[in-house]
Amino acid sequence: LKRCAEDELEGTPFGYTAMFDVLGPDEAVTALTSAILTQQLNHAVRKLLSKKGNTPAYKRLSDALALLEVDDMTQAPRPLDFAEVSQQVFEFRAGLIQEEQQIASINDVQRGVMNENIKSGAHAALYDAVALRAATPLTDSAFSLCEDVGTFVLHSLTDFAGDSERTASIMGEANRPLVFTYRGADLAPYDRVVIEADNH
């Protein structure tokens, strides 16, 4: 069992990630989205108003489209638009989503959106570099994890492969494949696996 964590949670044996800080705003976004959707589903279909006796006897024309009857049209209720959602709700929701993106270091370029503030390719590359830099701790931890797993496999093969001949295939420079045979003793001179990242 090998460990991979973006950062350490101080005073505990647990790992930390910025995604923990996104959970709060995300719960608020989910609640607002649910409230907007519920309001729209329940009240987006308008009601019909008519004087009694002037319409067919159907009281409900569909699951949502209903008919209201009054004795006189002067009794017509004033319109209440229950489907209307305050613009402040949408603005607050959008603000929370932007806050989530900032916490997670996800900018418009990473999302594939080229906004009007990005004036050139170099400017877009800078945005991309900032997002990649924010992901560096997790990337380093992932490389370290791969090194630990590779070293574990190397030592296991050295200890247990014995004299039996085994075949392995690897991808080398320029993705050229190589197939070779080995025995456990052949791996004894090697102590650990090291991974280096490049731009390929």
Lookup result for tokens 């569909």: 62
pLDDT of 42: 80
User: Average pLDDT of each block of 10 consecutive residues along the chain (200 residues)?
Assistant: 86 87 94 92 70 54 60 63 82 92 78 70 71 78 91 90 84 78 88 80
**Phi-psi sector, 171: left (phi>0), alpha (psi -120 to 50), beta:** beta
pLDDT at 122: 73
pLDDT for 25 equals: 94
Q: What is the pLDDT of residue 57?
A: 46
Q: How far apart are CA 187 and CA 182, in angstroms?
A: 8
Cα Rg for the chain, rounded, in angstroms? 31
Contact 85, 36 (CB under 8 A): yes
For residue 145, the model assigns a pLDDT of 92
DSSP string over 63-119: SS-BEEEESSGGGPPPP--TT---HHHHHHHHHHHHHHHHHTT--TTTTT---TT--
Instruction: Specify the pLDDT at position 92.
Output: 94
Rounded to whole angstroms, the Cα distance separating 43 from 83 reads: 5
What is residue 199's predicted lDDT score, i.e. its pLDDT? 65
